Amino acid sequence: MADLTLTPPQSAPKWNHSAEDILKLTKEAIQKDREFMDRIGKLPKDQCNFETVFLALANEEAEFDNIAEPLAFYQNVSPSKELRDASNEAEVLTRDYGVEASMRLDVFAAKQAAEANIKASGKKLNDEEQRLVEKMLLEGRRAGLALPEKERTELMGLKKELSQVCLEFSKNFNEENGIVSFTLEELKGVPNDVVSGYTKRTENGKELYDVTHKTPDIFPVFKYAENADTRRRAHESYEARLSINVPLLSKALELRRNIAALLGYKTWADYVTEVKMIKNAQGVEEFLDDLEQRLRPVGLREREVLLALKKEELTSKGLPFDGEFNIWDYRYYDRKFIEESLSLDDSLVKEYFPVSVVVPVILEIYQSLLSVRFKEVKKEEASTWFEEVQMFEVWQEGAKDETGFVGYCYLDLFPRASKYSHAAVWPLLPGYQLSSGKRQYPIAAMVANLAKPTPDRPALMRHDDVVTFFHEMGHVFHGLLSKTQFARFHGTSVARDFVEAPSQMLENWCWEPKVLEKMSSHYETSKPLSADLIEKIVKSRYVNVGLFYLRQLFFAKFDLKVHVDNKAEDYTALWNNLREHISLVKGGKPGPGQGSFGHIVGGYDAGYYGYTYSLVFAADMYATVFKKDPLDPALGMKYRECILKPGGSREETESLKAFLGRPPNSEAFMKEMFGTEASTAASL
């Protein structure tokens, strides 16, 4: 066991900033960085080398991010509007400055001179240092520094405007707080423990229940409300909740088209994918088309089954059947099909996953598998941004002194007003080697929105929530257990179409019988899931998998199409038409759903395909290495060494080869999805 009385060698950050602090510290960091860049830009050519340019830039970049990243994080989690606004403003300043800094010709010239001098001197760099040089030079070219001055100035203006538009979109996304209201009769079928958590009010003598657009509130309406009109209204409200973002998305796409054209790329998608595993937009198109071709017949068969279920239910109630499979029918009949074909009741399964049990057990599983230990910091000693947030020190298993320290982790698990509304992990500080030779240790924060306790039940997690939690903890450990020389390669700083693969692989644990037994405990009896229930949960994994992945493909194809087209169109019409065609569901009244597609401004532009693309690697890693014994710490250590430790310090295919003992292939993925070992057309 690790000695958890040890004191960490690095203090945790203090979350006690005022709005004034946030802006003051950000401005100071920008000024310091600008002065640093001035010095680099003025270096005589003969004094430009690896240490004076590349290493100095890497260290300064890390120091700047160490200040800016935590300050920009407040906008996602702070209960104070004043702090959120200041944080958002600080990020605008940081992003604008980032555009300016990326366009400095003098610094780019220093990098080019340093590279030439390194070659001339015959200096040997290690692999990660060589990668740093290559990436920094490529950045300059991608930033447009080879362009004439007029185009560079235009480009800088476009990039700053794009940054502002994306930030405004994200701010609206985080602060959305709309509701849709129903009577108790209209909510018939929705579990009582969910309904009891809704805000109840009286209007015109009628009792109404306010349903927010947060996942724990509205998704049970989609899944359980017997009244199709209730589900339709919930869908239309959810779909239109961010119509304010529609013009912002159109503007962002126009700016991206202009930037790509200035930089000489055929499309924005080609620009984005150049630095990913897939390399170009054509590769993405081929991958998605191939997958759609395989999924479509599967999805059509599944839709027929669910339509028959709909007809049967409506006929039994004496209601008319319209022959349509609507989007608000999908989650409802998918759930009914699983309940009827497997006798699996999602709300019953939920009773076995109280948050107070599941969270510690998942942490325990990860600790055992990856040979680390979590030590919760007492509330009175922990500095956090909200009183419910848990803070942990993370130590190496068997740590005897401070060298066994791994980093810090925060868990912010429950919904509240104006908090980021999904589940995600923020790598607040990277780990890397300081110029002193010592190490900076990483800090990761997981933000989620698990259901809160209700008057008659503790906080319970659906199995879906358990899978999501397991997935996000995968990102946390990628951030904690990476060990690179440079901050820019740390943890999840890998190609965007690989970043989800480690976490997707870890989702498999949530479908393993012995793991399900270990992390379940009925909230009243404390008994684990029975073998019968576990078998049903495992069988449910690939039920209606065709329709599920066709929905994912719709998002990916919308994202790709808007980033390969070279002229604007009606994106609301495109959103609705594409969804109907690809997802095989009728959409009803066309809604501006693209306004809530946060990924498209949050770093997954021309990159949503990556969620499915990386599943190929996830399936291969699990089937090849972990399937035989998913809880074996020796395999966990191999995973740490080959996948987590290198982060982005080498090509992702190299990490995969080291872990798998061969290049990756798609056999496991195809077998899992379709029961076949045929390969996809996508080059891996």
Q: What residues are labeled active site? A: 472
567 CB contacts (<8 Å, ≥6 apart)? 257
Q: Please state, in angstroms and rounded to a whole number, the distance separating the CA atoms of residues 542 and 59.
A: 47
Name which of 684, 655, 656, 653 is nearest 670 in CA terms. Answer: 684
Q: DSSP string of 91-131?
A: HHHHHHHHHHHHT-HHHHHHHHHHHHHHHHHT----HHHHH
Phi, psi of 130 (to 5 degrees): -65, -40
Write the burial class of residue 190 (CB in 10 Å: 0-12 exposed, 13-18 middle, 19+ buried): buried
Using CA atoms, how far residue 317 sits from 144, 308, 442, in Å, is 64, 14, 58
47 CB contacts (<8 Å, ≥6 apart)? none
Phi, psi of 488 (to 5 degrees): -70, -15
Compute how many other C-beta atoms are within 10 angstroms of the C-beta atom of residue 139.
Answer: 15
Strands 443-447 and 405-412 come out as: parallel
Tally of CA atoms within 13 A in the half-sphere of 375 that contains its CB: 20
User: What residue type is 277 in one-letter code?
Assistant: M
Helix axes 531-540, 327-342, angle to 10 degrees: 140
DSSP single-letter state for residue 496:
T
Q: Please state, in angstroms and rounded to a whole number, the distance separating the CA atoms of residues 446 and 452.
A: 17
Q: Please state, in angstroms and rounded to a whole number, the distance separating the CA atoms of residues 4 and 6.
A: 5
Q: Please check whether residue 632 is in contact with residue 370, taking contact to mean a CB–CB distance below 8 angstroms.
A: no
Q: Please state, in angstroms and rounded to a whole number, the distance separating the CA atoms of residues 594 and 600.
A: 9
Q: DSSP string of 654-676?
A: HHHHHHHSS---SHHHHHHHHS-
The three-state secondary structure class of 650 is coil
- What's CA 231's distance to the chain center, in Å? 27
